[in-house]
């Protein structure tokens, strides 16, 4: 028997003003785009904005449905948009923010399990890590160097070959 250890670390900034100009711009855009979410059921509006490696900015928001499982998270909306508009192009950095109608929006959220799976495969298919910037409408900011670090021991495309 041997033990395998997986170490996960990330950076915490006190606020958006401590970020580089480029990162702060992305996060501010993610905060703003929460207004485009369609979240009449959860009242939890999520916004995601990515900078692609060609410098283009694209956004995604959560889009809910009366048939709840038909809803889609902001992150996967964004990944589908990126792959559709810029096929094959990698994402450099992705900022995610939210506005919660029922409570404060002051601490970061991180992608759900399904989105972690989708982010992992997007990184793999474009051979490029996706940096994540996570924050509410204000307050601390988490920066994670690579989205797939959120999904250790992932089931990947390699397993199907």
| 3-state SS assignment for residue 119 | helix
Q: Which stretch binds ligand THU (CB under 6 A): 23-31, 79-87, 111-119, 121-129?
A: 111-119
Q: Which of 34, 50, 58, 75 binds ligand THU (CB under 6 A)?
A: 75
Dist CA 96 CA 61 (whole Å)? 9
Asked whether the beta carbons of 139 and 85 are under 8 A apart, the reply is: no
Listed ranges 8-16, 70-78, 85-93, 150-158: which one lies at the site for ligand THU (CB under 6 A) = 70-78
Binder among 78, 115, 130, 141 for ligand THU (CB under 6 A): 115
Nearby residues of 39 by Cβ (< 8 Å), 6 or more positions away: 45, 46, 62, 64
Compute the distance between CA of residue 159 and CA of residue 154 in angstroms, rounded to an integer. Answer: 10
Note whether 136 binds ligand THU by CB under 6 A: no
- Residue 129 in contact with ligand THU, rule: CB under 6 A: no
44: part of which helix (H) or strand (E)?
Answer: strand 44-52
Annotated active-site residue 75? The verdict is yes
Q: Which residues sit at the interface with ligand THU, rule CB under 6 A?
A: 39, 42, 44, 46, 62, 64, 71, 73-75, 109, 111-112, 115
| Catalytic center residues | 75
């Amino acid at each position: 028997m041997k033990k395998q250890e997986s170490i996960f670390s990330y950076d915490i900034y006190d606020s958006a003003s401590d970020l580089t100009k480029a990162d702060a711009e992305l996060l501010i855009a993610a905060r703003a785009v929460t207004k485009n979410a369609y979240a009449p059921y959860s009242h939890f509006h999520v916004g995601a904005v990515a900078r692609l490696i060609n410098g283009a900015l694209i956004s995604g928001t959560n889009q809910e449905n009366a048939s709840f499982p038909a809803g889609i998270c902001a992150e996967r909306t964004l990944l589908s948009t990126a792959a559709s508009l810029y096929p094959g192009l990698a994402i450099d950095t992705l900022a995610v923010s939210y506005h919660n109608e029922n409570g404060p929006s002051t601490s970061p959220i991180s992608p759900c399990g399904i989105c972690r799976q989708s982010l992992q495969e997007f990184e793999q298919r474009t051979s490029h890590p996706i940096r994540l910037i996570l924050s509410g409408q204000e307050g601390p900011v988490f920066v994670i160097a690579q989205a797939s670090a959120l999904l250790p021991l992932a089931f990947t495309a390699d397993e199907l070959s």
